[in-house]
Structure 1
Amino acid sequence: MTKTKALIDNLKSVCANYGLGNDGNEFKIITQVFLYKFLNDKFRYAVKQEKPELDEAENFSKALLDLSEDEYQFLIASLDPNIPRLRPEHLISHLFVKQNDSDFAKTFDDTLRQISIENAEVFSVKSFSGAKDTLFDELTQFISDSSQRDAFAKALINKLFEFSFEEMFEQKYDFFATIFEYLIKDYNTDSGGKYAEYYTPHAVARIMAQIMVPTPVKGVKVYDPSAGSGTLLMSLAHQIGEENCTIYSEDISQKSSNMLRLNLVLNNLTHSIPNIIKTNTIAQPTYLDTKFDYIVSNPPFKLDFSDFHADLEKDVFKKRFFAGIPNIPKTKKESMAIYLLFIQHIMFSLSDTGKAAIVLPTGFITAQSGIEKKIRERLITNGWLRGVVSMPSNIFASTGTNVSVLFLDKEADSEHIVLLDASKLGETVKEGKNQRTVLTPIEEQLIIDTFNNKQAVEDLSVVVTKAEIEVKNYSFSAGQYFEVKIEHVDISSEEFNAKMKTFESNLANLFAESKELEKEIKNNLKGLKYD
């Protein structure tokens, strides 16, 4: 872990030394070079597992180069489909030897381009139109002074050559979640604003995953219509088992899609990269005809979607948006509640036994009218509500909005719906200028166990029926179902009489003060003159 973080820091140092520190292209360079290194080592590891004699060779890249074309092709064909396909001349060890050749920057860029082309089928992200992106850019072209490009490429290769991932491939992949966060931690801003979707707190993600999948499952389809960098998807995949699920995702951001690709590679989910789609999920959904077993989402709460509002009114969308589409306000279009469209999209996308967990503003669970109430009514009528967990304030550092997690299940037990109020849990920590609430591991487990065991715990949770929710005007707030407790204290008749005399005395004094104040006001009014 420490060595991997040092590699990331070294790559950032190289960028800084060549004038690219905090440059808009630094993100591409760091993440793509890191990905190249990971794929290089993944290929080397897989080849050595398949052909152990190559592991004993003094020079691996030369030994690979010495294979006949038939031997090389046979070796490549024997590898798992999710292993990158590299040629000997693509390896970092080969480039390390060639680094003093003329036009080394061109050699470096050409190598990455060839890897992109030969691995496009598995590693490219598609857009709604079906067009595939390139895995790597021509990275040295970001150096404006062409005379420095060879030196820049050499510096990158030297940093990569000093480090190896291969020993880590024997381990479980969970630690790569931390590496991924460290890798992108400096790139989570866009015009000064936080990319909240990159940072769904891991506690929230774990709670969602462990409530959704309390028992083992296999061969399931997992989907996030607003995937961001994939925190929710990774947590759910780890809970299910990477080999037991296929991931699908949509997100409008190219940057998010590239981050998610890297996250899938690091977390042994390469087989799902072809299912990453860069698109506007609401206006141009790719998976409209696909139904999913598990859906997780932390959608944008508010966003201006006035540009494609009219398109959503078309017949093809009416079945999906059964509860309606928020109107376009005359002012503050950026406050349009787009999350209401995501909830309806998710409900539409569930399989016959589908389950979902959605992060949404807590105001949704009690709104007395409008689209919010229509959605809640439909969930109760259909028997799809499994429960709600209302989170502590400021559990997201980037937003002050109180959030709840809505759990849907087409096989839900409508006689035992769990409403849990975790707002009083957590510890406050400071992150820069922001304060955030952090749940302790014990509190996380308390929420998960209470919910999964359908327990009513004083001041924490209630277990209610479908009928009880209907009576409460379809409120999903636990607080509205808590018992109101009145504390009784026994007192003697003498104590009671003494208390009553005190109340009478205080009341008489207040009445007297009121009369004096009344006189004073009248006198002041008489003294007023108009000139």
Structure 2
Amino acid sequence: MSIQEYLDKMKEMIDELKAMSTALGLGNTGDEYKIIGELFTYKFLNDKLLYDFENREDKDEDFDEFVEFAGIYTAKMKKEHLIDNLFQKQNEDDFHKIFDNAFEEVNELNKDIYNIETASGKKKPLFEKLSVYIRDEGKEVELAKRAINILAKYKFNNIYDGGFDYFSTVFEYLIKDYNKDSGKYAEYFTPLFAGNIMADILYNDTPVSNVSVYDPAAGSGTLILALANKIGTDKCTIYSQDISQKSTQFLRINLILNKLVHSLPNVIEGNTLTKPEHKDGDELKKFDFIVSNPPFKMDFSNMIENLKANKYNRFFAGLPNIPKKDKNGMAVYETFLQHIIASLSKKGKASVVVPTGFASASSGIPKKIKKKLIDENMLRGIIHMPSNIFATTGTSVSILFIDKTKTDDRVMLMDASNLGTKVKLDDGQRTILSDDERTKIVTFFKEGKVEAEFSAIVSNNEIKESGYSIQAGQYVELKEEELDFDINERLSELSLALKQQIEQSKDLNKKLLDILGV
């Protein structure tokens, strides 16, 4: 079976799990994503274990020995936990308890690897009992039986060398129905192609080892996963924090899928602004690479007093005033952006999604942030993206690039807003970039190419003189329109037409005078 066929089968299994959830009255509930996510993850770990056992070096090693000495990339399970063995027990009394016990025992066997931490220090296991999601006790057994029949139906033992592009496609399909509320408070999912553009520009392909990658508003991890796979998952360690329980659960699955379980201890569920968890002593931890698509606007008025203490010297540009009315319109991205700048190492680089209005802002916090980036020669460039790139927000977005290793004063300003093709998707209209368009964006940015109405290279001084505007439209050259006619010939035609109009006017005047008897 080809990779594409396996991919289609995996999507088919996800669809069956969602249909099962709906049939049991769990569709569109807060628990549905947990059930689907946990069952999918259990299936992945089960089949990955069987794949690793089948391909073990020592063929004389039995299953129990193999599991005991397996590395962190292989889940520890006993034979009774395997899906095929659970399938054989589905007709036993209280089968749901057998399934629940399997989840709990697998949690215990893998707690040092798969547990993640909240800001309060609580450890959250990978799996919950399936039965906790059922309010109707009579349906507990039905859920367990339906679930095990779906999981046992599919075999994915030979897909585990598919790589990031493969599993990112699976992951996007897995969560597509559960990220529709993400635009207001947090981005649970950023389009993969946007993550790839950011990663391709941010990392210049110079071999590195043991570098740190951070996202303070990680969502489901698209951006950090794209960058980590660009750098090499064995050459970097991921750090993340996100206030959302849902997105942190998805991020954990994403890391497991993509061979980054060594970074799971660095995944924190909590409020980055009020209580950043990644620190070196009493100072913020500094990172080599930061990528982020933070929420743009939200009501964080209840955090302002806490943030005014500025414990970690993050908010050099200040904090917004609390409006009397529309508190949901507070620009929280400005606060995240200052946190990101403060979290960069001396040679750190960052790529951050911001509202395009940030580029032209002529006052307030945005201008102060741009002033620091320009005056300290940290701004590498900005790309204005097409509208509706992200399904969850209609706001025009740009991608900001910060580089503390810059040695010249050149800044790339790119207007890619006219690229892309608009398509109709389930969640509304979306703009999709072709492969050629994505390649053009990356190539022009990295090579400093200039094109009329698309890109410009400007100096720090030019930006200062313009009041720190980094709106590409102010700097890119306009295309000269090519005339499809001979200018001298056209002037002759216009001159002749004018003479004819003058003669006609004279005749008309003479007739009017004759009528009036003048």
TM-score (norm 2): 0.88
Matched, 1:95 2:86: yes
CA contact (8 A) 2:163 2:258 kept: no
The residue identity in structure 2 corresponding to 1:438 is: I
Could you say which residue in structure 2 is the equivalent of 1:209?
199
The residue identity in structure 2 corresponding to 1:168 is: I
Secondary structure of the structure 2 residue equivalent to 1:355: strand
The residue identity in structure 2 corresponding to 1:11 is: L
- Give the Å deviation of 1:398: 2.4
- Structure 2: tracts of 5 or more residues without a match: 1-6, 503-518
The residue identity in structure 1 corresponding to 2:17 is: L
- Give the Å deviation of 1:490: 5.8
Matched, 1:405 2:399: yes
CA contact (8 A) 1:32 1:136 kept: yes
CA contact (8 A) 2:186 2:217 kept: no
- Give the Å deviation of 1:450: 0.3
CA contact (8 A) 1:388 1:407 kept: yes
Q: Which moved more, 1:424-433 or 1:17-26?
A: 17-26
CA contact (8 A) 1:355 1:408 kept: yes
Q: 1:374 aligns with which of 359, 368, 381?
A: 368
Q: Which moved more, 1:260-269 or 1:392-401?
A: 392-401
- Give the Å deviation of 1:313: 0.8
Deviations 1:92-129 (A, max 9, x none): 22212222222211111011011112212211121112
Deviations 1:246-266 (A, max 9, x none): 111110000000000011111
- Structure 1: tracts of 5 or more residues without a match: 56-62, 505-531
- Give the Å deviation of 1:210: 0.4
Secondary structure of the structure 1 residue equivalent to 2:451: coil
Matches of 2:459 and 2:228, distance apart in 1 = 31
* Aligned positions of 1:109-508 closer than 5 A: 109-190=100-181, 197-216=187-206, 217-288=208-279, 289-317=284-312, 319-432=313-426, 434-483=428-477
Q: 1:10 aligns with which of 13, 16, 20?
A: 16
CA RMSD of aligned residues (A): 2.6
The residue identity in structure 1 corresponding to 2:306 is: D
- Give the Å deviation of 1:448: 0.4
Matches of 2:488 and 2:285, distance apart in 1 = 68
What number of residue pairs does the alignment pair up? 488
- Give the Å deviation of 1:195: 7.4
Runs of 4+ in structure 1 over 4 Å off: 192-196, 484-504
- Give the Å deviation of 1:38: 1.0
Could you say which residue in structure 2 is the equivalent of 1:508?
none
The residue identity in structure 1 corresponding to 2:442 is: I
Matched, 1:79 2:70: yes
Matches of 1:29 and 1:194, distance apart in 2 = 24
Deviations 1:287-333 (A, max 9, x none): 2421111111111011111111001111414x210010011011101
Secondary structure of the structure 1 residue equivalent to 2:124: coil
Compared CA separation, residues 54 and 107, structure 1 to 2 (3 A): farther
Matched, 1:44 2:39: no
Matches of 1:501 and 1:449, distance apart in 2 = 55
- Give the Å deviation of 1:187: 1.8
Secondary structure of the structure 2 residue equivalent to 1:147: helix
- Give the Å deviation of 1:494: 7.5
Matches of 2:115 and 2:36, distance apart in 1 = 18
Compared CA separation, residues 169 and 287, structure 1 to 2 (3 A): same
Matches of 2:295 and 2:501, distance apart in 1 = 54
Deviations 1:57-116 (A, max 9, x none): xxxxxx64xx6xxxx3xx345321232222222222221222222221111101101111
Could you say which residue in structure 2 is the equivalent of 1:513?
none
The residue identity in structure 2 corresponding to 1:49 is: N
Could you say which residue in structure 2 is the equivalent of 1:521?
none
CA contact (8 A) 2:391 2:427 kept: no
Secondary structure of the structure 2 residue equivalent to 1:167: coil
Compared CA separation, residues 181 and 171, structure 1 to 2 (3 A): closer
Q: Which moved more, 1:214-223 or 1:297-306?
A: 214-223
- Give the Å deviation of 1:20: 2.6
TM-score (norm 1): 0.86
Matches of 2:271 and 2:158, distance apart in 1 = 40
